[in-house]
Amino acid sequence: MTAPTYTVGSIHDGSATTVSDMLANPLFIPARLFELLNNAFLTDVVFRDAGRNSAGVVAFEANVPSFLSGDPEAIAEYGEIPVSIGTRGTPSFAVGIKRGLAVRVSREMRDENRVDDVRRQMTQLTNTMIRAEERALRSLLEVATIPAITASASWSTTGKPRLDIANGVNLVSSQNQGQGTEDILGFRPDTLIIPAGMEPVLMNNDDFLKVYNAGANSAEDIRYTGRLPGNVLGLDVLTSRFWPSNRALLIERGTVGFRSDTRPLEVTPMYGEGGGPNGGPTESWRTDTTRKRVLGIDTPKAAAWINGIV
């Protein structure tokens, strides 16, 4: 049998996907959820992947020095090359937490072809999973001993965002092992995390906008683009809808903390609840989204908070 052809004149033409089509392929909705959640978690970007774990608990050492003890020594001919001693950090551990949610498709959604209800649930599940992960990240960062500075003033008024960011970069870069100014740890922050919606705040900040008045940066003027540039003072800019509204965070990405999955993100195929025809006794089909992940901060000095930005 030859498949019918369609003349498509707009995005609303052609063969529409029905709820029955979605349920006929049990992987349709899970595949869409995977697509929505792929690279959507802030922890996947800022924390390094420490590999899988099978126990749900990860032991690690916090505040491990960046350098060996002592410096390379001058060695005479035939002299023995000295062996340095690697210094250790403070033993600690982090426990994994399993998080999950499910969404349902009812028989009524299928029979009445309520496609929008299905799509709305997928969007809501995606947003909720992202919010839960970022809340866990925030809680972890807020209890860690991350150094902090206070903004010069609110960025919505007379504050100087670029000066504050530069001071934060200097704070991270100058962190040492507590043995003197020569024992610099060597961190180089490369990422700035700020709350989403910061664009309208910075659009009214003359100090932030002055670099766009002329020259090569004028094309990135947020008064015209409506969005923050991808790079500020050499830092990648990340935003989060669930970030504290009055704080920004500078980090050396991949250094400040780690993530380790006991169970990677999993989305089950659609299945009828309770078995039986038409979705079982509840006349519904469901898909479950779960993950068990360990998050840990082992190098808090590779980050710095900027408080009081609004």
SS3 44: helix
- Does the pLDDT at position 218 exceed 70? no
Please indicate, yes or no, if residue 83 is contained in any of the structural domains.
no
β-bridge partners, 100? 290
Please indicate, yes or no, if residue 284 is contained in any of the structural domains.
yes
Total domains, the chain: 1
Please indicate, yes or no, if residue 3 is contained in any of the structural domains.
no
- What average pLDDT is seen over the chain? 86
Please indicate, yes or no, if residue 24 is contained in any of the structural domains.
yes
Please indicate, yes or no, if residue 81 is contained in any of the structural domains.
no
Range of the domain at 268: 19-64+90-307
Q: Which of 66-70, 118-122, 211-215 has the lowest mean pLDDT?
A: 211-215
Residue type for position 286: R
CA nearest neighbour of 161 among 132, 202, 130: 202
Query: Average of pLDDT values for 270-274?
Result: 91
pLDDT, tens digit, 9 for 90 and up, residues 156-168: 888 999 999 999 9
SS3 304: strand
pLDDT band at 184; cut points 50, 70, 90: confident
pLDDT band at 32; cut points 50, 70, 90: very high
Please indicate, yes or no, if residue 41 is contained in any of the structural domains.
yes
CA dist 305 → 142, 159, 166 (Å): 9, 16, 12
CATH of the domain at 31: 3.90.1690.10
Please indicate, yes or no, if residue 13 is contained in any of the structural domains.
no
pLDDT at 205: 86
pLDDT at 222: 72
| Rounded-to-integer distance, Cα 170 and Cα 177, Å | 16
Please indicate, yes or no, if residue 75 is contained in any of the structural domains.
no
pLDDT at 108: 96
pLDDT at 72: 85
pLDDT at 213: 66
Are the beta carbons of 125 and 103 closer than 8 angstroms?
yes
Q: What is the DSSP letter of 298?
A: S
pLDDT band at 41; cut points 50, 70, 90: very high
Cβ neighbour number for residue 48 with a 10 Å cutoff: 14
